[in-house]
Amino acid sequence: MIDFIDECGLDLEAIGYQKCKDGRFSLTSGKLEVDSQEKANKTGFDRGSYYIYNCPLLHELGEECFDYLSTEIGKGLKKLLVKHKLGKRSRILLVGLGNPNILADALGPMVLKEVELDPFKKNLRLFKFIPNVFSSTGINSFDVVHMLAIWLDVDGVVIIDSLATNSLSRLSTSFQLNDAGMTPGSAVNNLGHKLCKTTIGVPCISIGVPTLLLAGKAKPDWPDELILAPKDIHKNLNNVAKIISLSINKYV
């Protein structure tokens, strides 16, 4: 399973990939509109808007870089929200997918811990939920998110999860945003039902960061089912969680 659209093996510029102007701190970014079934078939990714951000030096540069990157990612998030007419009065369910007990899969829960929320506010419009994983709860993430979206009568869902990558250099330094939704467990090929507008009934925006490396891609004689994570993942995930939570706090 390929999580990043720019790792699908195609020349994306030939089908409309737009590289944005390079930013500070060696940030590069781009956007691809998968706006036809032909593009979806070619890439293997569902129709939607995809934003990619790569900042290979982010863990070496500190707070100023984090603030800058959170703003740039927040702008992309805002564009997806505006596309689906989700504003400051919209009711949004924030979902942190992953296993909080396994660090390499804990990005979603880590982000939501940093997201600011006032549960006693009279007109509460943001809701946070961490469904954990099926092996721990016996409940599929899709089922409980679908139920909550209906019960809370939300206008949209924002999903945060760990992704897998083919490139060692991208671990914890790349971000992908899209409004095509997300499939829980896709990074480890443990596929559930996809969380998307078609299945949930409201727009589903996903934010993903690669925290896992498919070993077979790094070294051909290693098995594909072997998943690798960097030794400094705790520090890196704390940084990434801070960046994403800042983006959500500013723009959702």
pLDDT digits (tens, 9 = 90+) for 38-56: 999 999 999 999 999 999 9
Q: What are phi and psi of 161, to 5 degrees?
A: -155, 160
Instruction: Report the Cα–Cα distance between both ends of the chain, in Å, rounded.
Output: 29
Which of the pair, 138 or 18, is modelled with greater confidence?
Answer: 18
The domain limits of the chain are 5-251
The two three-digit tokens of residue 231, written as one number: 């030794």
Contacts 24+ apart (CB under 8 A), 45-48: 45/5, 45/8, 45/180, 46/180, 46/181, 46/194, 46/196, 47/180, 48/178, 48/179, 48/180, 48/181
Q: Which CATH number fits domain 5-251: 3.40.50.1450, 3.20.20.120, 1.10.10.60, 3.30.465.10?
A: 3.40.50.1450
Q: What is the pLDDT of residues 193-237, one digit of tens each?
A: 899 999 999 999 999 999 988 777 667 777 766 677 777 788 999
Q: Read off the pLDDT of each residue in 67-84 and give the average, rounded to a whole number.
A: 97
CA atoms within 13 A on the CB side of 130: 17
DSSP string computed for 140-161: -HHHHHHHHHHHTT-SEEEEEE
Query: Which of 145-154, 203-212, 220-229, 238-247 comes out lowest in average pLDDT?
Result: 220-229
pLDDT at 189 > cutoff 60: no
CA atoms within 13 A on the CB side of 198: 9
- Cα 159-33-250 angle, rounded to 5 deg: 40
CB 210 within 8 A of CB 230: no
User: Average per-residue pLDDT in the chain?
Assistant: 90
The predicted pLDDT at position 126 comes to 96
Which of the pair, 212 or 240, is modelled with greater confidence?
Answer: 240
Q: What is the pLDDT of residues 66-75, one digit of tens each?
A: 999 999 999 9
110 vs 70: CA distance, rounded Å: 16
